[in-house]
Amino acid sequence: MMSVHDALEAWQAGEITSARAMRLAGAANVLELLAFAEQSGVDIRSGPLPREEDQARRATDLITRLMAEADAAGDRLPERTSPAE
């Protein structure tokens, strides 16, 4: 079984989800999980992992391409309406 310290390190490395780390560490929420990590000497990352940055870049590129293709074809998104309509 994974120790609390190992779970916190795996969470910060992106190897397990925060929900799994919370279960393994016995944390009630992410703030408590962060406190456990700090108390355990686990480095807390302040930004996205390289694979998360890559996923965001690829999603942005795809959305941009699809919007450009729709614009070139004369397709328009419907006007935004209020929830009451």
Tokens 């935004």 label which residue?
Answer: 80
Domain boundaries, the chain: 4-39, 46-75
Give residue-wise pLDDT tens across range 42-78.
999 888 888 889 999 999 999 999 988 888 888 666 6
Q: Which pLDDT belongs to residue 76?
A: 67
By CB atoms closer than 10 A (0-12, 13-18, 19+), residue 37 is buried
CA angle, 47 as apex, 66 and 24 as ends, to 5°? 110
The confidence score (pLDDT) of residue 9 equals 96
The pTM of the full predicted model, rounded to 2 decimals, is 0.61
Is the pLDDT at 83 greater than 80? The verdict is: no
- With bands split at pLDDT 50, 70 and 90, how would you rate the model's confidence at 82? low
- 17-27 pLDDT, tens digit per residue, is 999 999 999 99
